[in-house]
Amino acid sequence: MKRILLIALAILSLGSVVKAQDGNNTSYFLSNLPQQFRLNPAYQPEYKVFIGLPGLSGVSVNYLNSSFTVEDLLFKRDDSVYMDVNKFYKSLHKRNYIAFNNENSILSIGVKAKSWYGTLDITQKNDFLFRYNKDLFTFLKYGNTDHPSMDFGKLGVNLNSYIEVALGLSKQVNSKLTVGGRLKYLAGIANAHMTDSELDVVTEKDGTMKIHSRQNIRITAPVNIRNEQTGLPFEPNKPIDWDDFDFNTDDIGVADFLNTKNPGFAIDLGGEYQFNDKIKLFASLTDLGFIHWGNKDFRYNFYQDARFTWEGADISNSVNKDNVGYISIDSAFTKLTDQLKDSLQLRSRGKAYTTMVSPKLYLGATYQLNRTFYVGGLFRASLVDKMFIPSLTASVNGRLMRNVSASVSYSITRGSYVNLGAGLTAKLGPFQLYLETDNLLACNYTNTQSANARFGINLLFGHKDHKKKKKAAEKEPLEVMIAPVPVKKDTVYKEVAPEVDPVAPIKEEKVVDTESDSIRAYYVIVGSFKSKQRVENLRKRLVFMGFKESAILRNENGMYRVTTAPFNTHTDCWNEVFLIRKKYPQFADAWGLAVR
């Protein structure tokens, strides 16, 4: 166990600070998925209230390897597994990284109030990223014959764990624009942060290799690092005897994990814009913030600034244990760690430090093909300690019915170019189940560079379906010009009103267009409301249904009228009224308006 720990710390000592990125781009396009507000705080779910079940509303796991696969690293012969050094080396890029991210939703709530939507979201997050250069393995594989002087630069490992408490608010400014933001409090649990990382090798004329290693590792975590022999902390500013190294958690309680001694803050900003009846644009910038690691009770600072001669370790002899001169990978690294460990020291607790949260940018659009299907595109970028990680996603999405939606996507990201994703949401009663991944091909785990999945259960309440809207319209005391009258086009003269409660299907009134200075002679009206929000919602529905010339009128008394289309003649308007009543039962009370 100590040997494994030493190898891990040796790798840690080669680093700079980075953070992992998460995937789940397909989530951006899943219709009616409340968790979209985490990607864009302007998003407003269709339901008035949603509740993410504690512990079940969202679990996300993401893995990304920019270079090799399991198949590149290992191969099986007979009943034994070996490391394929040559294939592994060929799969590496000049700069490589391995990222892992995990999110666990604790509680998520959203409530709609008129044009506003508020959310409360509590999530526990963990991320890890290891970044390394191919030069390190070039040196280990080929030695120093052709490379007498090598600078490995900044490699790195970063580990982060924190709890995020976010309050969000979005506002529908008008029928086209919606904006939103989230303010987040971050409570840090654990962090491994590295600075001043340098590692270089120089081969002298006599063949000896001189290694210079300068590292500074800051760790904040609810654990006591002590001397296993004495049970006491290591003495500051002196070399550590790693054989006595011990992580002690006996006296650690829940309060040490859930504390406010490592506070942080972040914000999310986003917007959505309905460009026309088919194109919707969106943009968001998330995780703009920091965590201040100030818990002096569990803060450690390891440092190293040493020069020493290394005898070397040739991993090319680690392929087949039956070969002459075989050396195990463990033994090869031990040669290095035996010398590294003697020069690593524990500095006094030192000062608190601050790490930045990795910001993410989303830019995208959707195009409505018809009532059921639409396509989308998304550009996503993360900035991780000056390392730019972009990705592109294209998707085909369908609202198969009100309670079921699906998405199929294709994504490319840095070092991973074949990612076929899919997502599904289904509502059974008040329960909504969702499942999404950006890479279905990860099922073949031996030949994949990325894998991710997000799943959970929500409770949804208060959807504005057609029946509820119709009942609400009947109950509301509206200033309705006419009541619906069953009139058959073929049996009634156009210029004669029906005998039952005689009301002309076309009513004369003075109105203005709320969005245009021009006005036409006749309009077909399918809704009348005092609420501007209700008429805007109905107009959105009409545009979605194909009524591209739909408009909102206002009469002298302040009553809003929602139209399907304008007409120049009485006859055209009359014909459209009957067509609307016959084709759309929900608009059985459609009537004509003659502008006075």
CB 525 within 8 A of CB 490: no
For residue 377, the model assigns a pLDDT of 95
The structural domains of the chain, with segments of one domain joined by +, span 21-222+259-294+352-463, 223-258+295-317+328-351, 507-595
Could you tell me which residues are beta bridge partners of residue 553? 513, 561
Which residues 6+ apart lie within 8 Å of 225 measured at CB? 233, 234, 245, 246, 247, 248, 300, 346
Q: What is the rounded radius of gyration, in angstroms, for the C-alpha atoms of the chain?
A: 32
For tokens 């990325």, name the residue.
Answer: 450
> Which among 71, 91, 98 is positioned nearest to 134, based on CA atoms?
91
The answer to whether residues 304 and 341 touch, using CB atoms and an 8 Å cutoff, is: no
**Gap between the Cα atoms of 241 and 344, Å rounded:** 9
Nearest Cα neighbor of 479 from 555, 542, 564 is 555
The residue with tokens 């120093």 is 144
For residues 424 and 101, what is the distance between their CA atoms, to the nearest angstrom?
22
Diameter of the chain by CA atoms? 115
Question: Quick one: tokens of 566?
Answer: 């304008």
Q: Give dist(CA 474, CA 58) in Å, integer.
A: 39
| Burial of 510 per CB tally in 10 Å (0-12, 13-18, 19+) | exposed
Say which CATH topology domain 21-222+259-294+352-463 has.
Porin (2.40.160)
Instruction: State which amino acid sits at residue 30.
Output: L
**Per-position pLDDT tens, the chain of length 596:** 333 333 333 333 333 333 334 457 888 888 888 999 999 999 999 899 999 887 777 888 888 787 887 777 777 777 777 777 888 888 888 878 888 888 899 999 999 998 999 999 999 999 888 878 787 777 777 766 666 677 676 667 788 899 999 999 999 999 899 999 999 999 999 888 777 777 777 877 776 777 787 777 888 888 877 777 777 777 777 777 666 777 767 666 676 677 778 999 999 999 999 998 889 999 999 999 999 998 887 888 877 777 777 665 555 555 556 666 666 666 666 665 565 555 555 555 567 888 888 899 999 999 999 888 999 999 999 887 677 888 899 999 998 887 899 999 998 877 667 788 899 999 998 999 999 988 887 676 677 777 888 889 999 998 755 445 545 444 444 443 434 444 444 433 344 333 333 344 678 888 888 888 788 888 999 998 888 888 888 988 888 888 888 899 988 888 899 999 898 888 888 888 888 888 888 888 888 888 87
Tokens of 252: 């650690």
Q: Token pair for residue 409?
A: 């996507």
Annotate 487-548 with three-state secondary structure: CCCCCCCCCCCCCCCCCCCEEEECEEECCCCCCCCEEEEEEEECCHHHHHHHHHHHHHHCCC
Q: Judge contact between 47 and 55, C-beta under 8 A.
A: no
Residue 300, by phi and psi: left (phi above 0), alpha (psi -120 to 50) or beta?
beta
Neighbours of 201 (CB within 10 A): 21
pLDDT in tens, 166-187: 999 999 999 899 999 999 999 9
Q: Which helix (H) or strand (E) holds 134?
A: helix 134-142
Q: How many CA atoms lie within 13 A of 386 on its CB side?
A: 4
What fold characterizes domain 507-595? Alpha-Beta Plaits (3.30.70)
CA 516/CA 509 separation, integer angstroms:
18
Digit-coded pLDDT (tens) for 313-359: 555 555 556 666 666 666 666 665 565 555 555 555 567 888 888 89
Helix (H) / strand (E) containing 150 = strand 149-151
Query: Residue 75: exposed, middle, or buried by beta-carbon count in 10 A (0-12, 13-18, 19+)?
Result: middle
Inter-residue contact 58 to 15 (CB < 8 Å): no
Nearest to 222 by CA among 187, 257, 248, 262: 257
- CB neighbours of residue 556 within 10 Å: 10
Other beta carbons within 10 angstroms of residue 409's beta carbon come to: 28
Domains 21-222+259-294+352-463 and 507-595 fall in the same CATH topology = no
Q: What's the rounded Cα separation, in Å, for the pair 230 and 207?
A: 42
